[in-house]
Each structure stands twice: as structure tokens, then as C-alpha cells.
A and B are shown apart, each in its own frame.
Chain A
């Protein structure tokens, strides 16, 4: 396959970036999207040019690193698929492909296609955990009975890989889907219910502080999430937060 790539190049966080055109040939339709970028980078290195910086780690759809806005959509055109699991057969020979970093105030570009997603880490630090003693006498989590429906919903929410595609897709750069998945995952389980109120309050407060936008229920996040995290989690977050606000005790 031959392709025309338009890639965002930016030297560092302070620099002005711009879209740069690259022509690439010798792309096999069996390559993953990231392998295609590897091929491009090899040719750039051979020519003595700076390779295109992009985030990746597991390359099997579980780490959430590969944050590429491909042809107008986060993780590209294929639904329920991370950029690393996207294959070049999803594109036509001779196609022009735009590749951009996530765009959000809370996710500043570090270099080229790499953005700083520590805002998500700080939201987790604000309450995305349960306080249990892990020093020697841990209780087996399975010893606490959980209703099947709750367990299933909690598990679904827990499949969020923190990639940030929801923020990238949302026209308001809202992090509601991510935060709601994390809040739901814990609030649905007896171990997490204890701190549910403080958690909802603190995680939402941190989310707002980071400069993410407000949810207008466009549903873009759900449509673009590679893990199929549903809007029902945002419904639950709205409920959990209201419950916490109306409960003055803790």
C-alpha cells in the first residue's frame, strides 16, 4: 500500500507545532497502525530526520498508551479498537491519513503525538482506590458475596484502560466517562461502597481542577471508547455525586 500521511509535529511542549506531510510506500495491509508508524520512523532515521514520537507499550489493547487521533476519530475508524490493534487493511491504498495527538487543555502535548495524561493519575489519586490494610492479613475479596448484576457492571466499568479517547472524542474534552467508570467500578462493590461519597466528591473536584470540560451527553465518548464503557456509568456518577452532596455527614 501507498499512503499519504499528515502528522502533527511539535518539538516540545513550548514549541509551535504543525501538520507535516509524509509519503509512505511498502505498507502491508497486515501491519498494525503502529507498525506502519515504525516503518515511517525507520525511513526518517535513515534520512537523518527526527522520528515521529508516539506513545505505545503493550500493543495488545490493554495498556491504554496508544493515544492517536486518526482520520478525525480517536483510535481511528474501527470501533472498540485501540490504535495498536487497528490494522492497515482498514484503510484504502492511496488514502490520506491524518494523525494528531489528543486535544485537550488537560492533556498538553509533550512532543509530536505524545500528550501528558498525568491529569488522569491525579484524578485516581484523589479517590480511585479503596483503603484496605494489605499488611499480611488481607481478606480474600471473593469471601465477600456480591450480587451477580453488580459484579458484572463493576467488571465492565473496570475494563477502562485509561486511554483518554473519551476526552479526545468529546467536543467539550470532558473526562466524565473515565471518571464515571472508575467511580462505578468501586461504588458497585461492598469494598468500595464505604468510601463512595468522599470518592465521588474528590474525584469530580480533581476532574474540574484539571480543566476538563462539562458533559453535554453527546455520547461521543461511548461511541469511541475502545472498551465499550457505557454512558450508564455517567448516569451512575451523576447519581453518586448528588447523593454525596446531599449527605452532609462524611
Chain B
């Protein structure tokens, strides 16, 4: 009888991949709700966004959620790396001629590549905003809150770098859209929830989620870049 812990087996690794992945989907929704406030222009938008940013870095419940998010990203990336390495080892010699597009989607075969793009983006993104919010340099607004609003607007509008960052942001959102177009429904499959009855609905909801969320995310920097 097996005595491996709830982490060693191939299936358990996928349970964790799916659980962390779906948790990150929830995180995306929350993060998006916050970001959309950046579309409010003028002093009002600045004050509201900075107040919100302060709340996000001080409220104890949010703090717990953000630690869960850091852990999820780390675990998801490490677990994904381990799975991918094992999968490469499972076929040491490849076919001379293979037609994978006959039987599967590109996204499903390139989750690690898409994930790596997302990871690079997350690191740059955190350096640019999360790090500055915590350790500066950052100004203060008229209400005495750290002025993350101005940091954000500057990031997307400041000369060539602002243009590059806007483009990079959109590329990362495309990667997330592709990652989730497969990942969302795949997570339900890994958790044993994608039954024949629910399969179609889960795939459709997955596609809608995968298109809608990254699209809304991407609109924000593009809007900022074009209007400021």
C-alpha cells in the first residue's frame, strides 16, 4: 500500500498545481478590481487609488491573502518546473517526425513557456510597484498616503521606457490569456471536477475568463499611456 505523502505522486502534484492556479485566478480578479480604479482621472482618482493601496498593504486579512498569493506563485512555479522536468525525462528520445497539432492545442503543450513569461513579468512588475510601495523611493499625496498612483502613471508614460513597459505589459497579458485558456479548464480536470456533464460549461467559462480578465488588465496601461 502506498504511503507517499499528499505531494509526491504525479496526481497530487497536479492537485497542487490546480489549487494554486485557481487561487491565482481569484487573486487576478481582486487585483483587477483594484487596478480599474486607475481609470478614474484627476486628483480624485489619485487619492482614491492611494487610499486603496494603503489598505492593501495594511489590512490584516489582505496581508494573509497576499502571503497566500506569494506562496501560491512560488509553489505553482516550482511544482510546474518539477512536473515539466519529469515530463521531459519521460521521453528521453523524441520522434523523428511528429504531428502534435493533429491531436492537441499549442497552449496545452506550452504551459511551461507561457508560465515562464508570466514569471518574468511578475518579477519585473513587483520590482516596479510592490518594491517601491514598500521600500521607496515614493512621494506622498495630499492625504498623507504613499503616492503609488503617480509611480504607476509615470511607469507607463515616461518616454521610451513607458512605451516599452506598456507593450511588455500587454504581451504578458496575452501570455496569461493563453495560459488560462488551457489552465482554467485543466485545473478542474486535475481536481476531478470536469465531469462529462460539466465539461462543456467549464471550458466555455474558462475561455471567457481567460479572455476577459487579461483584456481588462491590458486596457489600463494602454489607456494611461495614450491619455497622459
Given A72-B98, A205-B4, the answer on whether A232 and B196 have CB atoms closer than 8 Å is yes
B104→A223 contact, CB < 8 A: yes
Q: Is A217's CB under 8 angstroms from B98's CB? A: no
Let me know if A174 and B90 touch, CB within 8 A: yes
* Given A202-B1, A211-B89, A213-B91: A98 touches B97 (CB 8 Å cut-off): yes
Tell me if A217 and B103 are in contact (CB < 8 A). no
B192 touches A171 (CB 8 A): no
- Asked if residues B196 and A171 are in contact (CB atoms below 8 Å), the reply is no
Say yes or no: B87 contacts A235, CB within 8 Å.
no
Known: A19-B96, A72-B98, A214-B14. A104 touches B189 (CB 8 A): no
Given B86, B97, B109, B182, which contacts A72 in the complex, CB threshold below 8 Å?
Answer: B97
Count contacts on A: residues with CB < 8 A to the other chain. 51
A205-B186 contact in complex given A171-B104, A215-B14, C-beta closer than 8 Å: no
Give the complex CA separation of A169 and B90 in angstroms: 12
Say yes or no: A100 contacts B108, CB within 8 Å: no
In B183-228, the 8 Å CB interface with A consists of: 185-186, 189-196, 199
A127 to B8 Cα, complex, angstroms: 19
Q: Which of A229-245 contact B (CB under 8 A)?
A: 230-232, 234-242, 245
A-B CB contact pairs (8 Å), 13 listed: A71-B97, A72-B100, A73-B103, A103-B91, A104-B91, A172-B87, A172-B91, A205-B9, A208-B9, A214-B87, A215-B14, A217-B185, A231-B189
Task: List the 3 closest A-B pairs by CB distance, nearest first.
Answer: A239-B192, A72-B99, A213-B90
Q: Which residues of A contact B (CB under 8 A)?
A: 6, 8, 19, 69, 71-73, 77, 98, 100, 103-106, 169, 171-174, 198, 201-202, 204-205, 207-208, 211-220, 223-224, 230-232, 234-242, 245
Instruction: Known pairs A73-B102, A100-B96, A238-B189; list 10 more (Cβ under 8 Å).
Output: A6-B97, A19-B96, A98-B97, A171-B100, A171-B104, A171-B109, A211-B89, A232-B195, A238-B191, A245-B12
